[in-house]
Amino acid sequence: MAKGSDAQQSILLIDGVCHLCQNITRYVVEHDHKRKFSFAALQSLAGSRLLRQGGLSEKDWDSFVLVENGRYYTSSGAALRVMRGLGGWRRIAYAFILIPRPIRDGAYRLVARNRYRWFGKSDVCLMPTKEVMSRFLEDGLNTQL
- Residue 99: its pLDDT value, please? 96
Distance CA 64, CA 74 (A): 6
Q: Are 62 and 105 in contact (CB under 8 A)?
A: no
CA 33, CA 58: separation in Å to the nearest integer? 30
144 located within any domain:
no
pLDDT of residue 18: 81
**Residue 38 and residue 9 in contact, taking contact as beta carbons nearer than 8 Å:** yes
Query: Does 130 score more than 60 pLDDT?
Result: yes
Cα 100 from chain centroid (whole Å): 22
Containing structural domain, residue 124: 6-133
Q: How many domains does the chain have?
A: 1
H helix runs in the chain, sequence order:
19-31, 45-53, 75-86, 101-119, 130-133
State whether the Cα torsion 37-15-76-26 is positive or negative. positive
Q: What is the mean pLDDT of residues 50-72?
A: 87
Residue 80 domain-assigned (yes or no): yes
In a domain, 72, yes or no: yes
- Residue 1 within any structural domain of the chain: no
d(CA 53, CA 140): 15
| Domain annotation covers residue 129 | yes
Mean pLDDT calculated for residue range 27-43? 91
pLDDT digits (tens, 9 = 90+) for 66-88: 999 989 999 999 999 999 999 99
